[in-house]
Amino acid sequence: MRYLFQLFTLSIFAITSHAAQKVTITGNDSMQFDTREFTVKSGEKVELEFKNIGKLPKIAMGHNLVILKKGISSLKFGQKVMSMGANATNPLPEPSMVDVIAATKLLGPGESETITFTAPESGDYQFVCSFPGHFAMMRGIMVVK
């Protein structure tokens, strides 16, 4: 009986030690993320839920959340996607994906999306909204330890 209890305890530990790290971030009509920085563990699964809590129409104030690769500046990335022709219906042109770890789709008011990815190596990774012009204000840092 004692052996079964130990086995059960170890299996519960194994299941919970590999549980995804959950992060929730919102974006609003003031072009702000509610979270400017969050921390995750390298090599671990991350479930990031992004919610657009604004009221304005998607075509005018849609939001996405784009996590950039290490060393990619959110400001330079925003300028780059604009030069690639980013617009209100395509805020993340396909060629820009070489700089991206993970991204949500463009969300309208009241919409949400959860993306899952594996946290990369330790370091600071910028995240941004790539809707035209939003990159100037809607940005933050994912810290990986």
56-84: pLDDT as tens digits = 999 999 999 999 999 999 999 999 999 99
Name residue 98's beta-bridge partners: none
Assess whether pLDDT exceeds 90 at residue 14. Answer: no
**Residue corresponding to tokens 């990986």:** 144
When pLDDT is averaged across residues 91-106 and rounded to a whole number, the result is 98
Report if residue 31 sits inside a domain: yes
When pLDDT is averaged across residues 28-49 and rounded to a whole number, the result is 98
User: How far, in Å, are 61, 90, 101 from residue 125 at the CA level?
Assistant: 24, 23, 9
Please tell me the number of Cα atoms within 13 Å of 68 on its side-chain side.
Answer: 25
Report if residue 2 sits inside a domain: no
- Residue 129 and residue 138 in contact, taking contact as beta carbons nearer than 8 Å: yes
The pLDDT of residue 5 is 44
The pLDDT of residue 19 is 76
Give the CATH number, domain containing residue 130. Answer: 2.60.40.420
Over the chain, what is the mean pLDDT?
A: 91
pLDDT band of 20, cuts 50, 70, 90: confident
Report if residue 83 sits inside a domain: yes
Counting the structural domains of the chain, the total is: 1
Report if residue 39 sits inside a domain: yes
Residue 122 identity: S
Report if residue 42 sits inside a domain: yes
- Answer whether 0.85 is exceeded by the pTM: yes
The domain of 85 spans: 20-144
Q: What are the pLDDT digits (tens) for 105-129?
A: 999 999 999 999 999 999 999 999 9
The pLDDT of residue 7 is 45
When pLDDT is averaged across residues 5-26 and rounded to a whole number, the result is 64
- Residue 50 and residue 113 in contact, taking contact as beta carbons nearer than 8 Å: yes
Report if residue 5 sits inside a domain: no
Report if residue 12 sits inside a domain: no
Report if residue 7 sits inside a domain: no
